[in-house]
Amino acid sequence: MNIFIGVKPDRTTLGLLSRYRGQEHEGLTKLFRQKLEEVKTSLVIADDEHLLRRLQGQAKVLQDFLEALETAPSVLERLK
C-alpha cells in the first residue's frame, strides 16, 4: 500500500500529485530519485540495526512518493 494514495484515495491529493508530474517540477522529482538511490546505497553498507531500520523507512517514503506520482493520474481517472 502506498502511504500517499492509500486504500481510500482522496481526489484532491490525487489531483495535486497528478499536476506535480509537470515539467516545472522535473528537477525536484530528479532530486527525490537521486536521494532514493543514495539511501539504497547506504542500506547496502549499513552495519547498525537502528541505522538500517531508519534507512529502510526513508527508502519506503521516497519510493512511495515516486510511485504515487506515477500512478496518481490513472487512479484519479478510475475515480471519475
Domain presence at residue 16: no
State the residue for C-alpha cell 471519475: 80
Domain limits at 34? 24-79
Q: How far is residue 40's CA from residue 25's CA, in Å, rounded to a whole number?
A: 23
pLDDT in tens, 50-79: 999 999 999 999 999 999 999 999 999 998
Domain presence at residue 62: yes
pLDDT in tens, 27-39: 999 999 999 999 9
Task: Please tell me the total count of domains within the chain.
Answer: 1
Q: How far is residue 20's CA from residue 23's CA, in Å, rounded to a whole number?
A: 8
Domain presence at residue 9: no
Model pTM? 0.86
Domain presence at residue 63: yes
Q: What is the CB neighbour count within 10 angstroms for residue 19?
A: 12
pLDDT at residue 7 in the model = 85
Q: pLDDT > 90: what percent of the chain?
A: 70
Domain presence at residue 6: no
CB 7 within 8 A of CB 1: yes
Q: What is the CB neighbour count within 10 angstroms for residue 77?
A: 10
Domain presence at residue 13: no
